[in-house]
Amino acid sequence: GDSVTQMEGPVTLSEEAFLTINCTYTATGYPSLFWYVQYPGEGLQLLLKATKADDKGSNKGFEATYRKETTSFHLEKGSVQVSDSAVYFCAAGNQGGKLIFGQGTELSVKP
Amino acid sequence: GAVVSQHPSRVICKSGTSVKIECRSLDFQATTMFWYRQFPKKSLMLMATSNEGSKATYEQGVEKDKFLINHASLTLSTLTVTSAHPEDSSFYICSAREVRGQGAEQFFGPGTRLTVL
């Protein structure tokens, strides 16, 4: 079946460091790809998305490119802030809205 | 953005009792809602898809007689954990799908922490 795999956490970075969180997927057809963020004590929020190959999603300095050839959707940010500390989830979704999530990566940014 | 609420946010119950969790879309109508279960330090596991006015579609391995889902209106879906046991203790999250023109977006509730003693 469909699945999403993302890099293990926790990831600890210093403020202004470069961030990459890897995400790969296996799916039949061409899913839409998402990154969700869960701040402490809050629900999941959509961070960015891409609906077809070579699309780049971006928001709040984060970006990810839908790479069909490598079935990947890696999340990057050039300079992280303490306020970016959260758990990040990669997900693949079909037309009906059903989402398959990766295991989540906890990011901790130190001042 | 659109808001989805869950009630209660936290519930503690005795083994053998049933617990109902509500999921509401506050400012939009959702023909489809989803229920997830999240274990500590783990991902969200889709339990079922709830469609307004019809029976829910359960994922493989999820007991439909234990996790009763009702989606009686376009803004409300409920999950009832029947005869709860300690292994049902978990964080339950719902999401509601808003269809907008050609596309759709899913909005998540803040979750409900269920502890079964």
Question: What's the rounded Cα separation, in Å, for the pair B77 and B10?
Answer: 17
Question: What's the rounded Cα separation, in Å, for the pair A97 and B16?
Answer: 33
Residue ranges of chain A whose pLDDT lies below 50:
none
Whether A97 contacts chain B with CB within 8 A? yes
Q: From B30, B33, B83, select the one nearest B57 (Cα to Cα).
A: B33
**Local structure of A29: helix, strand or coil:** coil
Question: Which chain A residue is nearest to residue B92, measuring alpha carbons?
Answer: A43
Cβ distance of A44 and B108 shorter than 8 Å: yes
Most confident range (mean pLDDT) of A58-62, B38-42, B55-59, B72-76 is: A58-62
Mean pLDDT of B69-73: 89
**pLDDT for the residue B1:** 67
Q: Which residues contact A12 (CB under 8 A, 6 or more apart)?
A: A107, A108, A109, A110
Q: Select the residue from B39, B43, B71, B97 to test the A interface by mutation, using most A Cβ atoms within 10 A.
A: B43
Cβ-Cβ contacts under 8 Å between A and B: the total is 45
**pLDDT for the residue B54:** 85
Question: What's the rounded Cα separation, in Å, for the pair B90 and B11?
Answer: 10
Whether B91 contacts chain A with CB within 8 A? no
DSSP A45-82: EEEEEE-STT-EEEETTEEEE-BTTTTB--EEESS--G
| Partner residue opposite B111 with nearest CB, options A43, A100, A102 | A43
Question: At residue B17, does pLDDT exceed 70?
Answer: yes
Question: At residue B78, does pLDDT exceed 70?
Answer: yes
Mean pLDDT of B80-86: 96
Averaged pLDDT score across all residues of chain B: 92
Cβ distance of B42 and A103 shorter than 8 Å: yes
Q: From A88, A38, A85, A33, select the one nearest A64 (Cα to Cα).
A: A33
Q: In what order do the strands lie in the sheet with B4-7?
A: B4-7, B19-25, B76-81, B67-73
Query: Which phi and psi (to 5°) does residue B22 adopt?
Result: -105, 145
Cβ distance of B44 and A96 shorter than 8 Å: no
